[in-house]
Amino acid sequence: MYNSIMMDEFEQLLRKKEINVIDVREDDEFESGHIKTAKHIALGIIPESLDKLDEKEEYYIICHSGARSARASMFLGNKGYKVINVMGGMSAYRGELKFGK
């Protein structure tokens, strides 16, 4: 199980405090612009990347529009992780971007 958050609320959180963001887009999408603090774990490799995550932490999952992040959130939530799907994804994000890896 997982929760969802609207982009406006997510952007406010990003400005207020440090949060764990996981970007599940493909490599080329991530490199073309991502949230500075985001950790990149493409959707296809999440099952083998669980050792990179801490079950005690809360993670905000983002993709391009919200579909892949919803799938990742469902998978991770079912594994016991605390996850929040960022609705609208990077297509709705208005903040500063970092380019490259």
User: Hey, where are the domains in the chain?
Assistant: 3-92
What are the pLDDT digits (tens) for 60-98? Answer: 999 999 999 999 999 999 999 999 999 999 999 999 999
**Residues 34-63, mean pLDDT to the nearest whole number:** 97
Catalytic positions are: 63
Using the structure block, give the residue that is written with the tokens 């929040």: 84
Q: Model-level pTM?
A: 0.96
What pLDDT does residue 101 have?
81
Give whole-number Cα distances, 97 to 31, 40, 93, in Å: 10, 14, 9
Fold of 3-92: Oxidized Rhodanese; domain 1 (3.40.250)
